[in-house]
Every structure is written in C-alpha cells, then in structure tokens.
Structure 1
Amino acid sequence: MAIHQAAQQGFSQQSSTYQRGRPEYPAELLGWLDHDLGARAGADVVDLGAGTGKFTTLLARLGAGVTAIEPVDAMRERLIEAVPGVRALPGSAESMPLDDASVDAVACAQAFHWFANEAALAEIHRVLRPGGRLGLIWNVRDERVDWVAAITGIITPYEGDAPRHYTGRWRQPFETQNLFTPLQRTSFSHSHVGSFDQVVIDRFMSVSFIAALPEQNKREIEARIRALRDVYPALQSETIAFPYQTEAWLSERIR
C-alpha cells in the first residue's frame, strides 16, 4: 500500500521538528503496556509506524524485545539515532518483514489512522502469535481548553484528505472483521510541558499536512498561531503545559 503523500512528504521534511515538538507519554501508560498489552520483559513486540522512536523508547524501557517498523526513511534514521540498539526495519502495516506468528504484541502509537484498513489488520494478525494483542495509542489534544480549540481551528482547513484520528474512521476495519476482539478503551490525562516554540509551534508545524504545504502557507499558519499569544494569557507564560488525553485501545487476536 502506498504511503499517503502528506505522511511521506511532511514527515520526511519535518522529522527533526516532529522529534522536538511531539509529546512523550504519561507514566501511567507503562502499567497498561505491561499488564494489558503484554509488552513486558522478554516479550517480542512490534512498534508499527514507529516514527522517530518516541514510543519505541517507552517499549524498550519495559525490557521487551522491540522491532520498530517505519516506512519513511527520514523518520527511521531519527529513530536509529534516538534508540540505538533497537531493531529498526523498513516496512508498512500491510507488509511487515516478519515471520508468521513471531511476536506477542503489536503497538501503533500516533499511527493507526494512517493505515486503518483490512489488509493492515490481516497483516497484524499474521505476525501475532495466538492470543497476541494489538494496542493503538494516541495523544489527543484536549480541545475543551479554549486556546487548544483555537489552534485546531487554524490548522483544520488544511487537512485535505489526510487521515485523522478524530474522525473515528480508523475504527471501521474492526467492524467488518473476525480476526480481533472488540476494542477496549483506556484514557489517561497528560501534559506536554515546555516552551511555546516547542509544545505549540514545533508541535503544529510538524503536523503532516501542514509540513507538506508550500513555505508561504507554512509561514502564514505559524504567524496566526503565534498571534494567539496576544489573545490567551495561558500562552504568555515562559513554560506552557499543553493538555492531552492519552487514549489506549486494546484488542486481542481471536484465532
């Protein structure tokens, strides 16, 4: 399956900005990964769509044997620098360079909406051992906060046909298959703390469909986001706490 242009172009151009601007994951997620997903010490785990390795690092901390699969070369190069020693392979959700029934768990962090299709589920099912588990994780912006909603209002008109988590379309393949159990959701509150440039500017300029725009458009969007500091006092602090809800979805291989 072809990689969506927004992902291929945007993530290739902005891999360093992505690494700086994307949040880590809440400490509470470690317990879920260990107990619920089964990504514990000694387990064989795939980080699918691993990007620059932010989530790979978390899996490695648990002592699991991690294989990171990432199709975008620039992102995978950042991952190899960030998480030395982890096995990092080119590949896609629909074609993983792994043997049948060879892993205990597959995790997709910030990624599954890019390849939410029946072929990907079939491939994930192929590489999982019987009883293996699939975990889907997203850091979701908390748009109950006024300035977060204002940023979303600036970037959304540019998304085009890029797959997005918030639409919920990523759930559709699960509704027509008999390979996995129904999804179960767990949620954790989380904040990305840092400077305005890091947690706001770098975060949104690394959004795939923004990063893929012509330079003039990107400069205009950045200027509009920076102008929000004059409107919202919370953005005028030296340190910003950007609010997220971390969603963790779990499903198990049926047969």
Structure 2
Amino acid sequence: MPPVHDAAQTGYSSQARTYTQGRPTYPEALSSWLRQKLLIDPQTRVLDLGAGTGKFTALLKPLTDRLVAVEPIAAMRGEFAKSLPGIEVLAGTAQAIPSPTASVDVVLCAQAFHWFADAQALAEIHRVLTPGGRLGLVWNVRDETVDWVAAITRIITPYEGDAPRFHKGQWRDAFDGSGFSAPELTCFEQSHVGSPETVIMNRILSVSFIASLAPADKAEVTRLLRELIQTHPALRGQETIAFPYQTQAYLSHRLG
C-alpha cells in the first residue's frame, strides 16, 4: 500500500482510543443530506474511505444495507471493529482501494480527504464508482468565531508542520474538472457536548500532529489547554461545555 503521512500513522496509531472518545459525532440533518443529495437508500452501495474508528460509518449504517469501510491504520481498524462489528472494514488507502472497478455508487470521506487529496486518489475513487456515482466529503470544522475556540487554534497551530489540514484548502487542488464536478457545499451547525476533558482535551490531543509530538511538546500543549480550561470565563469550573462546530458537507459527481 502507498505510505500514510507520518503524522497520521504515528498520531492515529497511538491515539486511536482517544480519537474515539474525543471526536464529535455528526448532526442529524446530515442524514437527510446523505439521502437527498447523495441519493443513498437501502440498496445503495456505499464505501466509507478513511473510515477511522467508524464515527461517520455509524451514521451511514441505518441508511444502507450495502456498506463497506476502508482504513489504512491497523489501530483505527481495531477500534472500528469493536464499535461496528457487523460492518466489514478493509485495509487499504485512497490510492489503492481494495474494491473492484465500478463496484460502488457512493464514496464518502469524513475528516479524511485532506490526507490523500491528489490526482491518484481521485482517479482511484473514479475507478471504483459506477457511472453517475457520487463523492461526498465531510468535515467538522471548529467554530473559531468563539474566542476560546480561537485560543485553542492558536495553541496548536505552531505544531502543524507539513501535516495536511482541511483549513489550508489544498485539498481543492485535486479537483481540476477532469473526473469530478466541482464540490458543492452544504453547511450544518453542530455542538459536541460533554466534559472539558472529553470535548477539549481528548479532542485536541487526538489531532494527528499533536498526537505524534515528542513528549515535551505534547506536555506543553497539554499544559496550555488545561490552563485555558481553568482560566477562561466560559470554561472555568464548568462540568459540561458545548464545543461549537460547523459541519461542512461537499457533493461532487463522477464525470464520464
């Protein structure tokens, strides 16, 4: 299989369980988008690419009886198998999808496409999709109009390095009009409600490039996050908080 970026391989392998606990789910309205825009019904063949621990796959499960997941990192597949034992999860990458040509109607990538957004991956997605097939891309994006969320971004951004990130926008460069239509955006509001430990600490420490840091750097990020929780007026002393997100969902049609 083609190599997985070091930040993903190291970070997600070491923090697979924290990822499961700390990542937000998806808004209920997204199910309607999947049915109405991606035309998913019980007979639609759906492939969840870069499925991770299965957070997004769980949303797909009630919509179709023909669902398969692909995930390159063994530790993530292990967590997936625990939470969704009835769904097949295959080892594979976006550049080498272990599925026959024209074998699926919809490919979905949640929190993942920025890791493998290149011509080779789109060509492989094009290969496994049927004519008229649909590609859906979904991200939960932190709402940085909230000041303490923006403060979290300021804490972690210095450690990004060359890790692919949704917010950098480079994933859009893969769409050159040759194999897929330009992605069409639909937005949904979403909140991750829970303890600060779950929705801030577990969430941020499971970010790939944070999870793969050297111990001293990770300890410093941990210290700064805990200091923010203990001192910010909206967070200090709160047993439960709502971490605000915007869920961005993109639809692209297979051409040719």
TM over 0.5: yes
AA aligned opposite 1:12: S
Structure 1 position 40, deviation (Å) = 2.1
2:183 and 2:250 in contact (8 A); partners too: yes
AA aligned opposite 1:48: L
**Residue in structure 2 matched with residue 120 of structure 1 by the alignment:** 121
Q: How many residues align?
A: 254
Structure 1 position 53, deviation (Å) = 0.4
AA aligned opposite 1:217: D
Structure 1 position 177, deviation (Å) = 4.0
AA aligned opposite 1:183: P
Structure 1 position 63, deviation (Å) = 2.6
**Residue in structure 1 matched with residue 111 of structure 2 by the alignment:** 110
**Residue in structure 1 matched with residue 34 of structure 2 by the alignment:** 33
**Residue in structure 1 matched with residue 215 of structure 2 by the alignment:** 215
Structure 1 position 154, deviation (Å) = 0.4
| TM-score with structure 2 setting the length | 0.97
**Residue in structure 2 matched with residue 69 of structure 1 by the alignment:** 70
RMSD between aligned alpha carbons?
Answer: 0.9
Structure 2: gaps (5+ residues): none
Larger mean CA deviation between 132-141 and 231-240 belongs to 231-240
How far apart in 2 are the matches of 1:231 and 1:91? 44
**Residue in structure 2 matched with residue 234 of structure 1 by the alignment:** 234
Structure 1: gaps (5+ residues): none
**Residue in structure 2 matched with residue 56 of structure 1 by the alignment:** 57
Larger mean CA deviation between 215-224 and 196-205 belongs to 215-224
**Residue in structure 2 matched with residue 224 of structure 1 by the alignment:** 224
**Residue in structure 2 matched with residue 84 of structure 1 by the alignment:** 85
1:38 and 1:104 in contact (8 A); partners too: no
Identity of aligned residues (%): 55
How far apart in 2 are the matches of 1:5 and 1:166? 19
| TM-score with structure 1 setting the length | 0.98
SS in 2 for 1:37: coil
**Residue in structure 2 matched with residue 182 of structure 1 by the alignment:** 182
SS in 1 for 2:106: strand
**Residue in structure 1 matched with residue 206 of structure 2 by the alignment:** 206
Give the ranges of 4+ consecutive aligned residues of structure 1 lying more than 6 Å apart after TM superposition: none
How far apart in 1 are the matches of 2:246 and 2:128? 30
AA aligned opposite 1:178: S
How far apart in 2 are the matches of 1:230 and 1:82? 33
